[in-house]
Amino acid sequence: MELKNITKIFPGVTALNDMSIALQKGQIHGLIGENGAGKSTLIKVLSGVFSPEKGEILIEGEKTHFSNPIEAKKHGITCVYQELNIAKDLSITDNLFMGEYVKSKIGLLDYRYMNTKAKQIMDEMGQEIEISKLCGQLGIGQQQMVEIGRSILLDAKVIILDEPTSSLGEKEAKLLFEIVRKLKEKGKAILFVSHKLEEIFDLCDVVTVMRDAKHIATVPASKVTKDQLISYMVGRTLDNLFPKTPSKSGEIALEVKDFSSVGQYRDVNFQARYGQVLGFAGLVGAGRTELFRGIFAADKRDSGEVFINGEKQDIKNPAQAIKGKIAFMTEDRKLQGLVLSESVMRNICLVNLDSLKKGLLLDYKKIKKQAEDCVSQLRIKTENINKVVGELSGGNQQKVVIGKWMNVDADIYVFDEPTRGIDVGAKIEVYNIINKLVEQNKCVIMISSELPEIIGMSDRVIVMRSGKIMAEIDRVSDNFNQEDIMKAAWGGKL
Ligand SMILES: Nc1ncnc2c1ncn2[C@@H]1O[C@H](COP(=O)(O)OP(=O)(O)OP(=O)(O)O)[C@@H](O)[C@H]1O
Ligand SMILES: [Mg+2]
């Protein structure tokens, strides 16, 4: 499949500017670029969601036009979008066959056939789940497998995956890669979008880089380095990916004693200090998010005590935690109060409106300034602060949520996967914000599954596995390296 000289314009933005890309049979093609570069828009043109203003689409050399995803599907093109399209109240079978229901000879839905087929597809993907289960009961990783299952069911020629690993754990991602490689062997043309360059090198045969709606380069993955790809993406060289500033070891800010919640975490004890970054490493599912949801009283725990500044706290709900000056930026940022139909400005100022008042009234000058500062600091790609958040690219929506939490006045900041889904340039901005908090002598806790980031930014690292602390490693220790942290995360002794 080939896109030639495609231009796509939204009011005020050119999202694709004379963009071309060719997908070959039996090849995995990586697509990378900064947030807002135009990747998802390109995919939506490929899969018939958007019609371009200019340019042509060729399938097996033949000029084609499709005006909706159903027509694209008929041409053998399927897509797993960045925002999943799963009907939560329907079963796996229903989700797989949606729009493609199979009927028996007498015209009734042939569930016997569909269930058998659904089971076979999920098995093929290594998913041993009851196919009558409602998709809402599945984890995000499994929901994604159902989406990919649709492409397999349709026996699509072209399979497009838009950031499929952004919400998957290590194990699930590995499994997904195996499935993708199998699809490649079957001769499918695959387009794979990701912000994780390691994945691009691991999986892809060729890589296309986009910047500002344009094609920048298409290169074989084996003939390019990470630094080269980064400079293609951002148009400049970034020499320090982890701009950590030196920190000091202050007083104990937060102390957690004997924290337990059956099936989630057990006997957790740790201290976090002011003026430092405490990293929480571990595999996805190690219980880190659950632990902090327990501390923040977003979920119930079975036992355990929390001390802030040496004083025992009785935190019963998140509101009390915020009063105790703990800010918690959770990992499921979209669910967590991004109002998609509202403007960038309103979203950024939502959590600290109280501090943006002049007497009893809102101070619009202050609100505007806070929003504008945030947009420029995090390089949020939007024409202006009045743009509706739902129209921003996926990564830029995430930046809005991050910006929102940056303005909360707290002493202890917990960031759960703060850089997931955002591009290299913006990651550095997030690290700079963390540095600033540390300089202001705040206590920062960073949960992250990305080891380079843990190593790059933490003063101390706690490694968790299956709900338990396996190791605590200081920055000056000999064990402060990726290999040893990984070893502890898998249950090895240091
Ligand atoms: N429906 C829309 N209406 C208006 N503008 C849009 C719409 N969809 C996308 N845009 C704009 O088009 C540009 C490209 O967005 P796109 O979603 O393609 O980026 P992306 O490369 O996928 O980024 P990310 O890595 O953040 O997912 C952005 O400036 C975005 O704000
Ligand atoms: Mg996108």
Last residue of a domain, one of 173, 203, 234: 234
- Position 240 in a domain: no
The model's pLDDT over 210-259, given as tens digits with 9 standing for 90+, comes to: 999 999 999 999 999 998 998 899 887 777 889 898 888 899 999 999 99
- Position 468 in a domain: yes
* 99: CATH: 3.40.50.300
Question: How high is the pLDDT of residue 336?
Answer: 62
Give the mutation target among 6, 8, 10, 214 for probing the ligand 1 site: most ligand atoms within 8 A of CB. 10
> Do 281 and 168 belong together in one domain?
no
Question: How high is the pLDDT of residue 180?
Answer: 93
> Do 210 and 258 belong together in one domain?
no
Ligand 1 centre distance from Cα of residue 19 (Å): 15
Question: How high is the pLDDT of residue 333?
Answer: 61
Ligand 1 centre distance from Cα of residue 442 (Å): 35
Question: Distance between CA 188 and CA 68 in Å, rounded?
Answer: 22
Residue 82 has pLDDT above 90, yes or no: no
pTM of the model: 0.78
User: pLDDT band for position 335 (50/70/90)?
Assistant: low
Question: Distance between CA 236 and CA 223 in Å, rounded?
Answer: 20
Residue 321 · residue 296 · CB < 8 Å: yes
The model's pLDDT over 4-28, given as tens digits with 9 standing for 90+, comes to: 999 999 988 899 999 999 999 999 9
Residue 407 has pLDDT above 90, yes or no: no
Question: What is the span of the domain harbouring residue 89?
Answer: 2-234
Give the residue ranges of DSSP H helices in 188-308.
197-203, 226-234, 288-295
Instruction: Give the residue carrying structure tokens 């980031």.
Output: 453
| % of the chain with per-residue pLDDT over 90 | 57
Question: How many domains, in total, are found in the chain?
Answer: 2
Question: How high is the pLDDT of residue 49?
Answer: 93
> Do 204 and 275 belong together in one domain?
no
Mind giving me the DSSP string for 456-490? HH-SEEEEEETTEEEEEEETTSTT-SHHHHHHHHT
Q: What angle do CA 468, 469, 471 make, to 5 degrees?
A: 145
- Position 244 in a domain: no
> Chain-wide mean pLDDT for the chain?
90
Give the mutation target among 211, 393, 400, 401 for probing the ligand 1 site: most ligand atoms within 8 A of CB. 393
Ligand 1 centre distance from Cα of residue 379 (Å): 14
Q: Which atom of ligand 1 is nearest to the CA of 42?
A: 18
- Position 247 in a domain: no
